[in-house]
C-alpha cells in the first residue's frame, strides 16, 4: 500500500525502532524489497536517487512501476516511494510524478536558502499529503577519491529546520555515504544526544547505513533515529552473488543465461540484506 512516510515515521519514533529505506535501481530491486517487507510484515521506504530515476527513464516510470507492482503483488504493508537527496527541481518533478515522500537536500545551500526552499516545498507537500525529509549539514562520503570522516550537524540549525514542519530530519552524526574508511572513528553519540535535546520528537534519519557496526546502529535507534538508509550494501550483495553465478559457469549450463535465472541469485542477495536490516532496525511486525 503506497502511503506517505509521515505516519510510519511517527510510529517508529514513538516505538523506538527504525524503518529501513532501501534504494531501488530497477524492477528486480523493487520486487525483492517489496516481497521481503510483506513477508516480514514491516513498513518500508523505497529510495530513489535522481541518478537512479534517470536510469529508469524518469520519475514517472518509477512511480508507475512501483504503484502497479505494489498492487499486483498484493502488498498490504505501508510502502513509501521516496526521493533520496533531491534537488529543488527533482523534488518538484517527483511530486508531479506521484511519489509519496520527498527528501529535499539543501545541505549545500546557505542555511537561509535551505530554509526558504524547504518552506516552499513543505507547503506543496502538505497540499498533496506527501512527507518531507530535510537535511541539515552535509553528510560526507567519497568525493574525488577523498573519503571524509563524516560531519556533525549543528543542533541549533536542526531545530530551525525542524520548526518548518518537516516529517523527518537527516542530520550528520559522523556517518558517511559509501564504504567506511578503516580509521573511521564511529558515530558521534554526543552529537546525536545534543540534536535530540533540541528536537525531542523529530524522527531522525541515519544516512550511509552500510558499514556502520550494527551495535552502533542499534544504539542510535532508541535515541531518536527512526529511518536508516541502506543502499551500497544491497549493491554489494547483488554484485557478489551475480559474480559467483558467472564464475561458477552457471550461465553456461542449460538456459542459465536467461536473465530471469542470471539475476535470481543477486535478488536473493538483496533479500538477505533487507531481511537482516528489518530484523536489526526492529520494524518487523510493525506494519
Ligand atoms: Zn544519503
Separation of alpha carbons 61 and 68, rounded Å = 11
Q: How far is the CA of 139 from the centre of ligand 1 (A)?
A: 7
Cβ neighbours around 138 below 10 Å, total: 15
Domain-embedded: residue 252:
no
- pLDDT per position as a tens digit, 200-212: 999 999 998 888 9
Domain-embedded: residue 271:
no
Domain-embedded: residue 240:
no
Cβ neighbours around 1 below 10 Å, total: 12
Q: Choose, from 70, 84, 105, 167, the residue flagged as catalytic.
A: 84
Q: How far is the CA of 31 from the centre of ligand 1 (A)?
A: 22
Domain-embedded: residue 282:
no
What's the confidence (pLDDT) of residue 11? 98
Question: At 101, which CATH number?
Answer: 3.20.20.70
Residue whose grid cell is 580509521: 183
Number of independent structural domains in the chain: 1
Separation of alpha carbons 26 and 7, rounded Å = 27
Domain-embedded: residue 221:
yes
Nearest CA to 33 out of 63, 94, 97, 77 is that of 77
- Residue partners of 93: CB distance under 8 A and separation at least 6: 59
Cβ neighbours around 56 below 10 Å, total: 19
Domain-embedded: residue 162:
yes
Give backbone dihedrals phi and psi of 12, rounded to 5 degrees, phi first.
-65, -40
Q: Which residues surround ligand 1, an ion (CB under 5 A)?
A: 207
What's the confidence (pLDDT) of residue 177? 86
What's the confidence (pLDDT) of residue 222? 97
Q: Is 154 a catalytic residue?
A: no
What's the confidence (pLDDT) of residue 180? 85
Point out the residues of the chain with pLDDT beneath 70: 140-149
What's the confidence (pLDDT) of residue 66? 98
Contact call for residues 176 and 141 (beta carbons, < 8 A): yes
Q: How far is the CA of 249 from the centre of ligand 1 (A)?
A: 36
Domain span holding position 14: 6-231
Q: How far is the CA of 259 from the centre of ligand 1 (A)?
A: 30
Amino acid at each position: 500500500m503506497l502511503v506517505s512516510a509521515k505516519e510510519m515515521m511517527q510510529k517508529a519514533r514513538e516505538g523506538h525502532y527504525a524503518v529501513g529505506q532501501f534504494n531501488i535501481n530497477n524492477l528486480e530491486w523493487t520486487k525483492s524489497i517489496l516481497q521481503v517487507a510483506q513477508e516480514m510484515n514491516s513498513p518500508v521506504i523505497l529510495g530513489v536517487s535522481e541518478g537512479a530515476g534517470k536510469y529508469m527513464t524518469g520519475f514517472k516510470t518509477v512511480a508507475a512501476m512501483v504503484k502497479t507492482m505494489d498492487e499486483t503483488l498484493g502488498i498490504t504493508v505501508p510502502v513509501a516511494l521516496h526521493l533520496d537527496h533531491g534537488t529543488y527541481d527533482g523534488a518538484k518533478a517527483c511530486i508531479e510524478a506521484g511519489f509519496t515522500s520527498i527528501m529535499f537536500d539543501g545541505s549545500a545551500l546557505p542555511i537561509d536558502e535551505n530554509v526558504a526552499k524547504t518552506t516552499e516545498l513543505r507547503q506543496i507537500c502538505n497540499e498533496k499529503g506527501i512527507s518531507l525529509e530535510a537535511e541539515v549539514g552535509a553528510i560526507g562520503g567519497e568525493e574525488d577519491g577523498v573519503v571524509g570522516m563524516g560531519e556533525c550537524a549543528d543542533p541549533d540549525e536542526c531545530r530551525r529546520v525542524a520548526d518548518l514542519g518537516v516529517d523527518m530530519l537527516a542530520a550528520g552524526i559522523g556517518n558517511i555515504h559509501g564504504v567506511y574508511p578503516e580509521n573511521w572513528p564511529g558515530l558521534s553519540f554526543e552529537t546525536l544526544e545534543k540534536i535530540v535535546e533540541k528536537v525531542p520528537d523529530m524522527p531522525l534519519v541515519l544516512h550511509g547505513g552500510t558499514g556502520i557496526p550494527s551495535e552502533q546502529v542499534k544504539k542510535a535507534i532508541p535515541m531518536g533515529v527512526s529511518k536508516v538508509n541502506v543502499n551500497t550494501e544491497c549493491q554489494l550483495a547483488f554484485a557478489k552473488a551475480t559474480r559467483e553465478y558467472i564464475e561458477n559457469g552457471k550461465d553456461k549450463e542449460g538456459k542459465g543465461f536467461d536473465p530471469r535465472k542470471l539475476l535470481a541469485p543477486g535478488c536473493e542477495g538483496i533479500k538477505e540484506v533487507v531481511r537482516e536490516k528489518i530484523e536489526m532496525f526492529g520494524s518487523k511486525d510493525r506494519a
